[in-house]
């Protein structure tokens, strides 16, 4: 918890002389893209984040909690990048009003996988059906086509979780975010080891910050055919009207 409670608004210079404090730095380079972070959070906004993020943490001692706390800087920078893209609306935390900025855990409604549904229809579950062992689309808006993030929210993705026991099916993933091009596939077979405390299959992936109106695409593969339930984990940051989405229609505004 020290990583969370220790967040502050004091600039901290790195070895190259640039500010490296996620709460105050001006930008961050993620893969091939430099993200503008806008003004620092206000003291009130930072306190809201610190106090309410604690309620989103997994149970004490779990591997997911360790990942969440290890990526706390990424969550803050992602929040700021999305906030900047949305016109620096004041951050209100959990359960914001329709035109306020808030956050929450990623739910299926914020990602698309339009098989067998039509484009612009959200996921309703995390189900991923593997009929072959080659790469297949996991996040997309049509075969081989990236989804376009809605204009009122963004995503900060840090890890994935399989809800299938005893052995998850997903073994590799390849994400593409924004203008970064195709990422090198990376191995997630550690899902099979499962959380060392709660027995949940969870593994960290390279941080992805998907800004409003940016593109997001992912493919996954298995070693053995079957149906996985592969949850994308992290935070969604956006206007209250988007965060409240519950229908299968993808929230574009």
Model pLDDT, residue 136:
95
**Whole-number pLDDT of residue 248:** 66
pLDDT at 249: 67
Of the residues 50, 79, 104, which one is the last residue of a structural domain?
Answer: 104
pLDDT tens-digit series, residues 100-133? 999 999 999 999 886 555 556 788 899 999 999 9
**pLDDT tens digits for 178-209?**
876 677 899 999 998 877 677 889 999 999 99
Q: Between the CA of residue 78 and those of 74, 83, 153, 157, 234, what are the distances in Å?
A: 6, 8, 11, 9, 11
Are residue 96 and residue 181 in the same domain, yes or no? no
The domain boundary, picked from 41, 72, 104, lies at 104
What pLDDT digit, counting tens, does each position of 12-34 carry?
887 777 889 999 999 998 877 88
Is 250 within the bounds of a domain? no
Residues 98 and 117 in one domain: no
In this structure, are 125 and 99 located in the same domain?
no
**Residue 44, number of CB atoms within 10 A of its CB:** 11
Q: pTM of the entire structure? A: 0.94
Q: In terms of domains, do 114 and 232 share one?
A: yes
Q: Is the pLDDT of residue 65 over 80?
A: yes
Q: Are both 80 and 128 inside the same structural domain?
A: no
Distance from C-alpha of 81 to C-alpha of 79, rounded to nearest angstrom: 6
Please state, in angstroms and rounded to a whole number, the distance separating the CA atoms of residues 132 and 110: 26
Q: What is the mean pLDDT of the chain?
A: 90
Based on the structure, what is the number of domains in the chain?
Answer: 2
Say yes or no to pLDDT of 98 above 80. Answer: yes
């Amino acid at each position: 918890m020290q990583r969370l409670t220790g967040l502050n608004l004091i600039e901290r210079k790195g070895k190259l002389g640039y500010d490296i404090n996620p709460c105050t730095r001006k930008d961050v380079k993620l893969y091939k893209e430099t993200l503008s972070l806008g003004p620092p959070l206000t003291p009130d906004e930072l306190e809201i984040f610190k106090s309410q993020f604690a309620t989103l943490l997994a149970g004490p001692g779990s591997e997911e909690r360790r990942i969440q706390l290890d990526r706390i800087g990424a969550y803050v920078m992602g929040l700021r990048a999305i906030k900047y893209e949305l016109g620096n609306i004041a951050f209100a935390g959990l359960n914001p009003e329709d035109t306020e900025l808030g956050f929450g855990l990623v739910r299926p409604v914020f990602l698309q996988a339009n098989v067998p549904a039509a484009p612009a229809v959200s996921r309703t579950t995390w189900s991923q059906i593997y009929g072959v062992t080659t790469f297949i689309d996991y996040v997309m808006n049509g075969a081989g086509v990236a989804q376009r993030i809605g204009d009122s929210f963004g995503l900060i993705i840090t890890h994935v979780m399989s809800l299938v026991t005893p052995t998850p099916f997903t073994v590799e993933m390849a994400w593409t975010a924004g203008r970064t091009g195709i990422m090198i596939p990376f191995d997630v077979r550690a899902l099979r080891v499962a959380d060392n405390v709660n027995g949940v299959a969870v593994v960290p992936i390279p941080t992805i910050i998907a800004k409003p109106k940016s593109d997001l695409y992912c493919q996954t593969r298995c070693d053995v055919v079957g149906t996985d339930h592969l949850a994308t984990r992290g935070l969604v940051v956006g206007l209250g009207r988007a965060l409240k989405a519950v229908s299968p229609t993808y929230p574009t505004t």
